[in-house]
Structure 1
């Protein structure tokens, strides 16, 4: 990518590791190529993928070339557009996602990204809310499609239901005929109900695996249940959706799906114009985007510390400017 002489601040790291590897640096402001948009970043939301990459857990896909940037989802104001870009123009308020989250990052004052990965911000949302949409919103749409037909009487269990992913998924599920059971923490029970759950289980007080209820679909957003445990509460031809698959899980899912009626499905997703437009329409129709807490750019390390600890509802964001 071409660069110019204007400097900007960005968060980078030069080795895999914990929060202490993050550093604020000055680097040249990127220049938008013909098919790109230069965005003055206003907010970036944090995702588990950010720290999985930083810790080296994804090095087979991210590579080990440094320095690396962090953050994938952002919102801001279009500064400049490339010569072939027509759907946005300077001054537009937008949200988007870097094209390759394994190798790029948005936690900087400016970001140049493919125009195909930028959408106009819903006017009802603040920047931090809009920055919370792409990764988990796209995953929620993909999960809904993975569940198959959701008819009256279909029992769906959402484990870890009130993080960013669950926030979108519960509200999308509420527009189906399925009966939704949400597993979450004490502080999020009311929100789970408000987002569309028919029944809410406080995991601190009840163990969903020890109950008599069984489900047609179980989706584990916490990454703690696993297919082996979920089988106990799956109906005979039910679906378990794994949203945080390890390479071994992908192989195991093939084996499980061949030999048993209980399907182990791996969710792989990414933002697209189709799913973003679906989410924008849902937001215009009243879908809520909850940001648990925002941190200023100077406290990006503290933001990641808070996000990695978990236990909050919705998303965590960093305000950049």
Structure 2
């Protein structure tokens, strides 16, 4: 099969397009013919070796954890899916080697859900990792409730835009930080935008003078440090970007595969309450350019990889 892989840690220049062995199918897995994948910041951080030794690499590594595709074959213990089913998945193992930037991936059923019927494969591929990160941060860590107000830092990005929509779908008010050029976009998602940068705390307090019930930090650094001062009494704090959140009494979130959570996201999309914005689509052989695009930052929505 054709795939993207890398033989050593490095930058996008070490990514290679070529032939790799088709993955072997385990009893609890399905073989997915990949139609699309998506790029997440964690992909190029893994590529650079930033997550070693938390995630061991078995070289050569095929990158990618997001997938949307069609079941080609099911393992002997699988009854949940059959050949021809359209699925999405956050296909992460406890090591990195057998990723989704390929024509086929062997995906454990614990990582999969049915694909939303009302999306393209490219849109669907942008949902799993970013959507699960947002969903688990809001519901498991922050435990936001209807009528509360949550502040989302970097609300126009891949995770942030989904967090805004998931929160709004559950009756939560959202204040989102973003550059001025993305404010109309955030309003279209139902959030109240505020510009990040110097004076951010004052701008948030103008919108929520009594404080917010929860803060979801997707940036780290200064944005995280000022967040406790924006919380109302009993407010909660979570970050996916900065482990220093623990010293501030908050939760550090590292997303995990969860079939039930992924199905909940599929249902939100099918009800029209959540939509994945695709910023750009690259063919598989141009994955290195997709990585460079992601590294450049300031992407609104998701970067997809199309696998013909």
Scaled by the length of structure 2, what TM-score is found?
0.90
**Is the Cα–Cα contact under 8 Å of residues 99 and 114 in structure 1 kept in the other structure?**
no
SS at match of 1:61: coil
**Is the Cα–Cα contact under 8 Å of residues 58 and 95 in structure 2 kept in the other structure?**
no
**Is the Cα–Cα contact under 8 Å of residues 144 and 172 in structure 2 kept in the other structure?**
no
Say if 1:189 and 1:64 are closer, same or farther in 2 by CA, change over 3 A.
same
Q: Please, which runs of 5 or more residues in structure 1 have no aligned partner?
A: 1-7, 258-263
Q: Deviations over 1:51-88 (max 9, x none)?
A: 11111110011225421120100111111111221121
**Is the Cα–Cα contact under 8 Å of residues 31 and 106 in structure 2 kept in the other structure?**
yes
- The structure showing larger relative contact order (alpha-carbon pairs under 8 Å, at least 6 residues apart) is 2
Report 1:1-321 matches (<5 A): 8-100=1-93, 102-103=95-96, 104-145=98-139, 146-152=141-147, 154-197=148-191, 199-203=192-196, 207-211=199-203, 213=205, 214-246=211-243, 249=244, 253=246, 255-257=247-249, 264-286=250-272, 287-321=274-308
Return the index of the structure with the highest Cα Rg.
Answer: 1
**Is the Cα–Cα contact under 8 Å of residues 46 and 317 in structure 1 kept in the other structure?**
yes
State the Cα distance separating 1:192 from its structure 2 match: 1.0
**CA-based RMSD:** 2.0
**Is the Cα–Cα contact under 8 Å of residues 11 and 23 in structure 1 kept in the other structure?**
yes
SS at match of 2:22: strand
The number of residues matched between the two structures is 300
State the Cα distance separating 1:150 from its structure 2 match: 2.8
State the Cα distance separating 1:256 from its structure 2 match: 3.9
Q: Please, which runs of 5 or more residues in structure 2 have no aligned partner?
A: 206-210
**Is the Cα–Cα contact under 8 Å of residues 72 and 101 in structure 1 kept in the other structure?**
no
SS at match of 1:10: strand
**Is the Cα–Cα contact under 8 Å of residues 213 and 235 in structure 2 kept in the other structure?**
yes
Tell me the equivalent position of 2:208.
none
**Is the Cα–Cα contact under 8 Å of residues 173 and 196 in structure 1 kept in the other structure?**
no
Say if 1:192 and 1:306 are closer, same or farther in 2 by CA, change over 3 A.
same
Say if 1:227 and 1:71 are closer, same or farther in 2 by CA, change over 3 A.
same
2-structure distance, mates of 1:96, 1:151: 28
State the Cα distance separating 1:268 from its structure 2 match: 2.8
